[in-house]
A = this chain, B = another copy of it.
Amino acid sequence: TETDFFPGIPKITYAPDAGAGDVLYFRHYNAEEVLLGKKMKDWLRFSVCYWHSFCGTGADPFGLQTLHRTWNEGNNLMECAKKRLHAAFEFFNKLGVDYYTFHDRDLSPEGSTLEETNRNLDEMTDLALQLQNNTGVKVLWVTCNLFSHSRYMNGAATNPDSHVLAYAGAQVKKGLDVAKKLGAENFVFWGGREGFNSIHNTDVGAELKHMAEFFRMAINYKEKIGLKCQFLIEPKPKEPCKHQYDYDAMSVIGFLKHFGLDGHFKLNIEPNHTTLAGHSYEHDIVMASVFGMLGSVDSNTGSPDLGWDTDQFPMDIRNTTMVMKTVIEQGGLQPGGLNFDAKVRRESTDLEDLFIAHIGAMDAFARGLRNAVRIREEGVITSMVKKRYMSFSHGIGQRVEDGSASLEELEDFVKKNGEPNVTSGKQEKYETVFNHYL
């Protein structure tokens, strides 16, 4: 049948006592288990990405296809597209994940004209809607691929040719229609070509202005059609461009505020992008959250010794604990989620590897969640931090906090109270306590 793309692989279940080699069970992720008043699946809101897991071929800049999937074999592109979608829904079900994400061009092939392309997309989204209704699987987010086609090689919204910007706009218009049709909970903008390869040929000021106008048009159309989803921007510092304008969380926040767009967007943070920007794994998660802008997470990882986007499945428990600690502190990610923007290595050619990778990563995040919950419940770290900042709850500290102090007053305080005490930051103690929970 159309639902037998993964023969021999059963529905994945929770088996906390599974042995080291039993990699087709969850040992930590127990979807319905309630922690801190919420089911694990509602804290984690896992999502599978369509492009890597169903369209990926294993090709890399130095090598040809290694992954041969039955759903990519067929007589024509639309037939393959449909098989692929059936395969994906079989996968979602067996894995037990409620969400998926896709680019418009993942789901459906580009035609020879925009009109034909859009008809293809209509046909595929009809099928997607039917499969969603049959299974209860939902769209975490939709995004438009504005970077693969050669027309976008010099940028989409920031292209020096307004004709290309117009094409990108037409594509986003359709993408927003699709988001509405499929009930997507978010819509992502990733500006893979919005930046430059050479500063010499680039008018940075003009390009930023055009990008802002492009976003404004998208906001207007979203409101016009009554689309309720959250808009998200996904920062990345470089690759494919030498420099991308959405470098990191703070760059995007600065841009949005400069153009008065910050009320309309949150951020979709991908830690592999964060580390490429020179930050620690959790940095942009924390910064976005602090600025009230953390919308969703592309849960993957790179390797700190590699300078490009490897999109690996997240497997480091320290990192997943840090992410989930921040997620808990802000009360969850909804309507965002944890989207596995990750691909099996091109050498992982067995079909089961696709399951093993997702299971391993879901368990890594489930462990992170369980650790973060224990940290929260025991409160040892929280109370150490609270005590550390205590001086801002009274006296001169409180006056700083509420904005009523002045430099003159601070000087008076020092003249009366002299030199402050030197207080240990106790980093190693915090690290040791944190390790206790891993």
Contact = CB atoms under 8 A, between A and B. Distances in A.
A254 B250 contact: yes
Given A62-B148, A254-B250, A424-B347, A200 B431 contact: yes
A318 B415 CA distance: 50
Interface string A313-350: 10111100010000000000000000000001111111
B346 A153 contact: yes
Contact of A391 (B58, B161, B403): B161
A258 B291 contact: yes
Contact of A201 (B305, B360, B426, B435): B426
B428 A345 contact: yes
Contact of A401 (B161, B198, B209, B425): B209
A257 interface: yes
A290 B172 CA distance: 27
A238 B307 CA distance: 9
A66 B414 contact: no
Interface residues of A, number: 161
A305 B247 CA distance: 13
Contacts of A384: 201
Closest 7 CB pairs of A and B: A307-B307, A162-B397, A169-B410, A254-B254, A347-B425, A304-B304, A360-B432
Contacts of A21: 380, 433
Interface stretch (A32-40, A83-91, A217-225): A217-225
A201 B38 CA distance: 27
A101 to B, nearest CB: 17
Given A433-B20, A433-B21, A316 B315 contact: no
Interface string A203-217: 111101110011011
Given A220-B407, A350-B426, A431 B400 contact: no
A150 interface: yes
Contacts of A309: 61
Contacts of A306: 238-239, 242, 307
B160 A391 contact: yes
Contact of A206 (B58, B278, B359, B389): B389
B425 A153 contact: yes
Contacts of A434: 200
B305 A421 contact: no
20 contacts: A19-B380, A61-B61, A61-B309, A63-B193, A153-B346, A160-B389, A161-B421, A163-B391, A166-B420, A169-B405, A173-B410, A217-B406, A220-B406, A238-B306, A250-B251, A349-B422, A349-B425, A356-B429, A356-B432, A363-B435
Contacts of A413: 163, 166, 170
Contacts of A420: 151, 161, 163-164, 166-167
A395 interface: yes
Contacts of A279: 243, 305
Nearest to A172: B407
A214 B381 CA distance: 27
Nearest to A311: B61
A353 interface: yes
A5 interface: no
Contacts of A60: 61, 240
Interface string A153-177: 1100000111111111110111010
B275 A304 contact: yes
Interface in A5-28: 19-21, 23, 27
B61 A240 contact: yes
Contacts of A429: 23, 353, 356, 360
A93 interface: no
A162 B419 contact: no
Nearest to A374: B20
A242 B21 CA distance: 25
Contacts of A134: none
A172 B407 CA distance: 8
Contact of A421 (B163, B192, B396): B163
Contacts of A168: 410
Contacts of A250: 247-248, 250-251, 254-255
